[in-house]
Amino acid sequence: MADWKKSLEESLMDNLAKRPALNFSKSLMSAYIEIKQEEDYLNGLADSLSISKKKNYTTSRNIVLNIHLKLERIIDFCIVDCLFSGAKEMELKADVATLIDVVSDIDFYKKLRIIKGLSACKPSSIKTLIKINNLRRAFAHGYKEEHKDYKYCGTLIFDKKTVEKLMADYGEISKEIYEGKIFE
């Protein structure tokens, strides 16, 4: 099991054990706060974008991979919360560790279909998540820098303005999922 899944599982189980009256989604807020704190790191990377194409590639890659990972974790939390809440409502005993493990193994596009079905995001946010996933795939598979998947909102991802747009979209989508009707 990946370290972040283990630590997340331990944190969630501790929160549930200490405060059984809280529902699962409220215990996820600590994970959300941790993600918000990590945004300082991403902002620092964005500020370091320069004229050097090689440096911008590496910096953009770090930002895209970090944002994708964080968004995928938020989506995982959303899905697990729904499963946990549904099991609780049906008076079933849900095993949080198993739910986290199973959901983390689901392919990203399938997770997007699930949150779309749950109406956890606006259709425009789903489209943005697909663009972010295309960026991640381009970096992960080492596509040539001119490849269409390196474009975000019509512009190659290697400049500061485009990265700032990506980061703003990341903030909006994470807020939408955490503050949306799934996490009321």
Structural domain of 148: 27-183
Chain centroid, CA 81 distance in Å: 14
Please count the structural domains in the chain: 1
- What's the pLDDT at 156? 84
CA separation for the pair 120, 170 (Å, rounded)? 15
The answer to whether position 14 is within a domain reads no
Angle of the 53-89 helix axis to the 160-179 helix axis, nearest 10: 10
- What's the pLDDT at 143? 80
The answer to whether position 115 is within a domain reads yes
Q: How far is CA 64 from CA 119, 128, 134, 181, in A?
A: 25, 13, 10, 27
The answer to whether position 99 is within a domain reads yes
The answer to whether position 6 is within a domain reads no
Render pLDDT for 106-156 as a digit per residue (tens, 0 to 9). Answer: 999 999 999 999 888 899 999 999 999 999 998 888 888 778 888 888 888
- What's the pLDDT at 46? 61
- Burial degree of 24 (CB within 10 A; 0-12, 13-18, 19+): buried
Q: Of the given ranges (77-81, 94-98, 147-151, 171-175), which has the lowest mean pLDDT?
A: 94-98
The answer to whether position 102 is within a domain reads yes
User: pTM for the whole thing?
Assistant: 0.70
- What's the pLDDT at 111? 94
Chain centroid, CA 55 distance in Å: 25
Cβ-Cβ contacts under 8 Å for 104 (sequence gap 6 or more)? 2, 5, 76
Render pLDDT for 97-106 as a digit per residue (tens, 0 to 9). Answer: 788 888 889 9
